[in-house]
Structure 1
């Protein structure tokens, strides 16, 4: 099982380049960054984990800009999103951003996409929460067409464009790995699209089998994100055959972040192939 890190890169925490170097030096397989374009002042949408919305949600950098900076100072680290809030984005621009990251990193991009939870944030982008799933389906199909077809076009209910040229094409063939983030509905969507699934990690080993039962034996790559730094939970995911888990790095200043990564690295070494 592969061990990665997920975090928010913010203007108050360890810098992107320093983070990337530290992860690669400690042997982590991947980094997955969260995304929020902004946080509406309205708090009508409750924070899914309960309580007040943590400070890092308000201050996160654009994930693709941050991952581009990290790509420049690393050679092996996989560079992913968990998740890109695709339903709030222009699909053509996003396809180019991911393809550009894959090109500049030498084929290390991993594209995690989802619908998110903040309905006010969606509304500010003109996204109707009632049709967000159908929109995501069309966006994923359109992005794959842009990545793989020399002359790409897509005609759907929500996404519609005539034949176009878009470069660069991703280095990875047929395209960078795609994962869909969320709970059971996301797992079903991942199965329909033939891509991976990013569920939120559970907090106890006894919950792992129940969480993965939704796959019903289907061979779908799973990245549980994030997972507690608890050996019993990590062991349960490893025994279940998941591809990857990520550990959540708090948004600390550099010195504190490096100490936490040292702790995580000691734990992760037991799962190194």
Structure 2
């Protein structure tokens, strides 16, 4: 089982140019970044984890800019989004961003997507929360067409464009791995699209088989993001055949981040071996 790191990189955290090498030096397989374009000042949508929305949500940097910066100072690290809020994005620009990251990193991009939870954030982008799942379905199909076809075209209810030439094409063929983040609805969507699934980690190792049951009988990959740093939980995910788990790196200055990574690396070493 592969072990990566999931974090929010902000203007107050460890810098990308230091984070990437630190992860490779400690044997981590991947870096997955969350995304929020902004946080509306007036918000009714509750934070899914409960309580106040953490500071890093307000200050997170653009994930593709950060991952491109990390790509320039690393050689092996897999660079993923966990997750891109695709329903808030232009599909043509996003296809180019992911393909550009894959090109610059030599085929190390992983594209995690989701529909998100912050309805006010969606609304500011003109996205109707009631149809966000159907929109995501079309966006994924359209992006795959852009990545694999030349010329590419797509005609749907939400996404519609005539034949176009769009480069670069991704290094990874037919395209970078796609993972859909969320619960059972996301698992069902992953099965329909034939892509991977990103569920949140759970704290009870005995509950892991039931959590992963929606993908039982398929060979689709699972990336758990993030998983608690509990050896019993990690053992349960490894036994269940999970491809990858990420461990959460809190948003901290450089010196504190490196100390946390040292501790997490000691735990992750067993699985890397």
Match for residue 75 of structure 2?
A: 75
User: Does the residue aligned with 1:84 lie in a helix, a strand or coil?
Assistant: coil
Q: Does 1:64 align with 2:72?
A: no
Per-residue CA deviations over 1:177-217 (Å, capped at 9, x if unaligned) read 00000000000000010000000011121221110012232
CA distance, structure 2, for counterparts of residue 43 and residue 54 of structure 1? 14
CA distance, structure 2, for counterparts of residue 62 and residue 33 of structure 1? 9
Q: Over aligned residues, Cα RMSD in angstroms?
A: 0.6
Equivalent runs, 1:10-49 vs 2, <5 Å: 10-49=10-49
Match for residue 204 of structure 2?
A: 204
Match for residue 217 of structure 1?
A: 217
Match for residue 173 of structure 1?
A: 173
Give the alignment's TM-score, normalised by structure 2.
0.99
User: Does the residue aligned with 2:111 lie in a helix, a strand or coil?
Assistant: strand
Match for residue 104 of structure 2?
A: 104
CA distance, structure 2, for counterparts of residue 81 and residue 101 of structure 1? 11
CA distance, structure 1, for counterparts of residue 124 and residue 227 of structure 2? 31
CA distance, structure 2, for counterparts of residue 97 and residue 162 of structure 1? 20
Gaps of 5+ in 2: none
Match for residue 129 of structure 2?
A: 129
Q: Does 1:244 align with 2:244?
A: yes
* Runs of 4+ deviating beyond 3 Å: none
Equivalent runs, 1:120-199 vs 2, <5 Å: 120-199=120-199
Q: How many residues align?
A: 273
Match for residue 259 of structure 1?
A: 259
Q: CA deviation at 1:43?
A: 2.5
Gaps of 5+ in 1: none
User: Does the residue aligned with 1:225 lie in a helix, a strand or coil?
Assistant: strand
CA distance, structure 2, for counterparts of residue 36 and residue 244 of structure 1? 23
CA distance, structure 1, for counterparts of residue 82 and residue 272 of structure 2? 22
